[in-house]
């Protein structure tokens, strides 16, 4: 019997302790047992350090506007696992999702017994399998799939996509992907299949050469976009680049889109957690920027959203991030920051922890940021709102997707 949404949620959360282990053997076996759902639709695979979710959801929005039944997969989620799967712009049907999770759960013993030396199926692998299956069962024609970490050994690489988008390459997850941008780019470009189309944004020279060589060796067409192809919409430079990448990816798969349609989608479409205005007085803006490149992109884009209003920041970050460089970049956005410890929920990957606010305060002082420490994200938000109200400022919350929970009240 299939679990309900709550039971599906609890079962996926229960896998957190398994941790993350790179490799494709488990996910490939799991998909075989499930009937290879990834072969039941065409796909666009989105890899990169930053900009993946914005690009993925933008491409899906363009496909929806064109009348193509589509789905998309993103990560992480804010509140519940089924947020990761959209069908025609709306969250996947609850019964389809619950049934897909149940089928994955029931398939895992067979997979693990056939691979006794591979270890248990991980939480991310189980979720990816359920997401692929739910898209197939929803009858999508095209899926836009965001990679989790890297590419070569990421569970989403069970796909053989006709189009691959490389959004950007930065230093993140270096303990898994390598210490240099070139090493990380190799991991991400490894998802490219022969004769596919590779879409890229602006790249550093050494990454540009690597992308060109990889595409040539595999007989892949290469399409480069700059983000300047659009006008003023979407607001924010990094969102315009994401939309341009999405536009090029859709064109590579199903042909060019009508310009009027694209202009309408670019004005109406918004990505949760990316320059997301939550309104209020003072206004609160949430962004999931969680590495130095992400904060720098946020700093460039933010003036288009806030104008000349000052900014007060709420910041918290996990320990696997370069928090010192992030705080330094934050200094170009604000002179005042309220520091907190993101709450790592039980469903988060095993071993993750937050940087202590007192450590963040020391770094903030070193770069000239005025910092105050709060007990938790909700407390930091309350202090920031009070300060912003007295100054006619905007509250910016950034550093981790886990801070989103503090904005629910």
pLDDT tens digits, 229-260: 655 566 667 788 899 999 999 999 999 999 99
pLDDT > 60? residue 78: yes
Q: Provide the token pair at 13.
A: 């959360």
Average pLDDT over residues 137-151: 93
- CATH 3.40.1190.10 in the chain, residue ranges: 5-268
**H helices within 115-234, ranges in order?**
123-137, 174-177, 181-189, 205-217
d(CA 245, CA 197): 12
Global pTM value: 0.87
- CATH 3.90.190.20 in the chain, residue ranges: 276-407
User: Tokens 């189309």 appear where?
Assistant: 197
Cβ(401)–Cβ(273) below 8 Å: yes
Domain 276-407 in CATH 3.90.190.20: yes
pLDDT > 50? residue 350: no
Average pLDDT over residues 131-145: 98
Rg over alpha carbons for the chain, rounded to the nearest Å, is 21
Cβ(201)–Cβ(188) below 8 Å: no
Q: Provide the token pair at 124.
A: 């991310």
User: Tokens 């104008």 appear where?
Assistant: 307
d(CA 158, CA 161): 9
d(CA 303, CA 383): 23
Second CATH level (architecture) for the domain 5-268:
3-Layer(aba) Sandwich (3.40)
d(CA 48, CA 150): 7
Cβ(291)–Cβ(50) below 8 Å: yes
pLDDT > 80? residue 176: no
pLDDT of residue 174: 52
Q: Which residue has the higher pLDDT, 42 or 184?
A: 42
Contacts of 187 (CB under 8 A, 6+ apart): 150, 151, 152, 153, 177, 178
Cβ(265)–Cβ(248) below 8 Å: no
pLDDT classification of 3: cutoffs 50, 70, 90? low
The whole-angstrom distance between residue 242's C-alpha and the CA centroid of its chain comes to 12
pLDDT of residue 227: 65
């Amino acid at each position: 019997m299939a679990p309900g949404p709550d039971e599906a949620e609890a079962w996926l959360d229960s896998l957190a302790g398994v941790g993350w282990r790179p490799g494709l053997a488990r996910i490939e076996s799991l998909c075989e047992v499930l009937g290879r759902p990834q072969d039941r639709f065409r796909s666009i695979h989105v890899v990169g350090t930053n900009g993946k979710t914005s690009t993925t959801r933008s491409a899906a929005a363009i496909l929806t506007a064109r009348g193509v039944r589509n789905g998309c997969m993103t990560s992480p989620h804010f509140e519940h696992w089924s947020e990761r799967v959209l069908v025609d712009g709306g969250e996947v049907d609850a019964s389809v999702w619950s049934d897909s999770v149940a089928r994955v759960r029931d398939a895992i013993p067979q997979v693990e017994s056939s691979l006794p030396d591979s270890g248990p199926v991980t939480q991310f692998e189980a979720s990816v399998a359920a997401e692929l299956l739910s898209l197939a069962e929803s009858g999508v024609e095209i899926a836009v799939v965001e990679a989790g970490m890297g590419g070569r050994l990421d569970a989403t690489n069970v796909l053989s996509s006709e189009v691959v988008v490389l959004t950007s390459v930065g230093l993140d997850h270096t303990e898994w992907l390598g210490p240099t941008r070139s090493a990380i780019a190799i991991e991400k470009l490894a998802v490219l299949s022969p004769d596919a189309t590779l879409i890229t944004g602006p790249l550093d020279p050494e990454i540009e050469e690597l992308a060109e060589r990889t595409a040539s060796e595999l007989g892949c067409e290469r399409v480069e976009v700059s983000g300047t192809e659009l006008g003023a919409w979407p607001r924010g430079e990094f969102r315009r680049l994401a939309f341009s990448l999405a536009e090029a990816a859709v064109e590579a798969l199903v042909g060019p889109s009508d310009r009027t349609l694209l202009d309408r989608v670019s004005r109406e479409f918004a990505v949760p957690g990316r320059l997301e205005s939550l309104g209020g007085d003072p206004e609160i803006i949430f962004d999931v920027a969680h590495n130095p490149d992400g904060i720098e992109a946020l700093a460039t884009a933010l003036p288009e959203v806030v104008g000349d209003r000052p900014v007060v920041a709420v910041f918290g970050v996990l320990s696997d991030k370069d928090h010192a460089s992030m705080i330094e970049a934050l200094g170009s956005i604000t002179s005042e920051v309220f520091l907190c410890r993101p709450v790592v929920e039980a469903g988060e990957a095993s071993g993750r922890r937050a940087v202590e606010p007192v450590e963040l305060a020391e770094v903030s002082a070193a770069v000239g940021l005025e910092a105050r420490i709060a007990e938790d994200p909700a407390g930091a938000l309350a202090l920031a709102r009070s300060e912003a109200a007295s100054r006619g400022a905007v509250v910016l919350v950034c550093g981790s997707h886990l801070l989103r929970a503090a904005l629910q009240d």
